[in-house]
Amino acid sequence: MINVIWALMAIIGIVYAMINGTMEEVNKALFEGADEAVTLVISLTSVLVFWLGMMRIAEKAGILRGLSTLFKPVVKKVFPEIPDNHPAMGYILANFSANLFGLGNAATPMGIKAMEEMKKLSGSEKASNSMITFLVINTSSITIVPTTVIAIRMEYGSQAPTEIVSSTLVATLVTTISAILVDRLLRRRREKMRH
């Protein structure tokens, strides 16, 4: 699916530019988009190296294992396929905590590690049930304090920049829970089709 979507985005854009006369903008955007990606990866590099180094220490020191024992009852329900005390659990929890506290750039490296561990579990190139659940929770992002949005609101002279914290929290909670439910529904359908 992603192959088709990717190709279609570019094709639709280029064909539309032919009709619309925006070919010049498209030419410029081609290389701007590529440049942006390189810049993004460079800024990600520092974050990845630092946090994966720290996380490796946390793993070796047994902190991740402690974290997963602490939250096992809750997480076990959401990820029934991950065995007890598997390192994937620790990384999943580290990723959630980083997201929760708004440490977006620490969340990404831990999320990637979690995916890696889940791949070891499934041993295939196909996304496993746990991976899909993990990604869905990440895309609906539980954040307690949306720092970027608050900063923008302050910049434009809001009387109460933080008043959206409560509405964001309610929205994100409802979204995450419904996303988990939709995921469960589709998972059940997948399993039925296999039988």
Q: How far is the CB of 67 from another protein (least distance, A)?
A: 11
Contact status, residue 149 vs residue 118, Cβ threshold 8 Å = no
Name which of 14 and 70 has its Cβ closer to another protein. Answer: 14
Name which of 73 and 159 has its Cβ closer to another protein. Answer: 159
Burial of 82 (0-12, 13-18, 19+ CB in 10 A): buried
Name which of 34 and 73 has its Cβ closer to another protein. Answer: 34
Q: How far is the CB of 77 from another protein (least distance, A)?
A: 18
CA angle 43, 41, 8 (to 5 degrees): 140
Name which of 5 and 73 has its Cβ closer to another protein. Answer: 5
Q: How far is the CB of 146 from another protein (least distance, A)?
A: 3
Q: How far is the CB of 104 from another protein (least distance, A)?
A: 9
Sequence-distant (≥ 6) Cβ neighbours of residue 142 within 8 angstroms: 96, 99, 100, 172, 173, 176
Burial of 180 (0-12, 13-18, 19+ CB in 10 A): middle
